[in-house]
Amino acid sequence: MRLFFNGEERVTATLAPFVWAAPTPEIEIFLSTQMVDEARHSVFFDSWWRAVPGTDKKDMASLLDDVRPAVAGGYNELFYDRLPNVAQRMANNPRDLDALVEGVTMYHIVIEATLALTGQRFTLDQMRQEGNTGLGFYQGFTAVARDESRHVNFGIKFLQEAIRDDADRFAPLVQRTLVDCLPLITGTLEPPDGDQRYYTDFGRSQDEVMDYAMSSLNKRLQAIGINLAA
């Protein structure tokens, strides 16, 4: 939940430059609706945190600071270094289409399609097995996952079209971005101090979750028309 809550705020904070860099009004409008979704997801987690785990933090900034994962190498690099950097490149030059293609690969394919949807799938599965579908969290999180699928579909279509228009320019760029991000995916799924109970307490294993994440990633790449030879 720390990864999700903090992650939702990170993706809310970094999406505006993607809107500025949108090459068409259709993309600009889609990304604007996505920004509202991400803001709503952040508020959902803030409300849940206050209602369920509980906190004495008065505002969202201090709560986020409190819940921010302490040990998560891949996660920190992805959300606090790579993603803000690529967003900053778009902020500096909204005509930088390479930055937008790299940004969508990182944001929509690595973060949303591979990490978020995997975590959501296992979390919702677990709640169904425990008969917890009546909880507000289950219903809210199901709505979040539905939004994420919508975002991922946009990312796939955007990259498909970019590669169709100029494969020599964009295919290697998407490929290189993904190869750079692979260790960050592994790093994000690594539990704190390697403690496997984060998985085994729920009848899962790290390998199972990692395999699911990588096969989701491969399916998206096929749809986009990219071969990840690595």
If the CB atoms of residues 8 and 102 are measured against Fe ion, the closer one turns out to be 8
If the CB atoms of residues 146 and 169 are measured against Fe ion, the closer one turns out to be 146
**8-state DSSP, 191:** P
* Dihedral of the alpha carbons of 60, 62, 66, 67, in degrees to the nearest 10: 10
If the CB atoms of residues 36 and 167 are measured against Fe ion, the closer one turns out to be 36
In angstroms, the CA 212 to CA 218 distance is 10
If the CB atoms of residues 11 and 171 are measured against Fe ion, the closer one turns out to be 11
Region near Fe ion per CB under 5 A, out of 91-99, 141-149, 184-192, 194-202: 141-149
DSSP 125-187: HHHHHTT-TTSHHHHHHHHHHHHHHHHHHHHHHHHHHHHHH-HHHHHHHHHHHHHHHHHHHHH
Are the C-beta atoms of residues 90 and 106 closer than 8 Å to each other? no
User: Any idea which residue has 């979750």 for tokens?
Assistant: 209
* Interface map 100-139 toward Fe ion (x if CB under 5 A): ------------x---------------------------
Q: Is 82 in the site for Fe ion (CB under 5 A)?
A: no
- Please, what is the minimum distance in Å from the beta carbon of residue 53 to Fe ion? 19
Q: Is 10 in the site for Fe ion (CB under 5 A)?
A: no
- Please, what is the minimum distance in Å from the beta carbon of residue 181 to Fe ion? 16
Task: Calculate Rg over the CA atoms of the chain.
Answer: 17
Among 2, 10, 22, 38, binds Fe ion (CB under 5 A): 38
Q: Is 151 in the site for Fe ion (CB under 5 A)?
A: yes
In the complex, the residues that contact Fe ion under the rule CB under 5 A are 8, 38, 41, 112, 148, 151
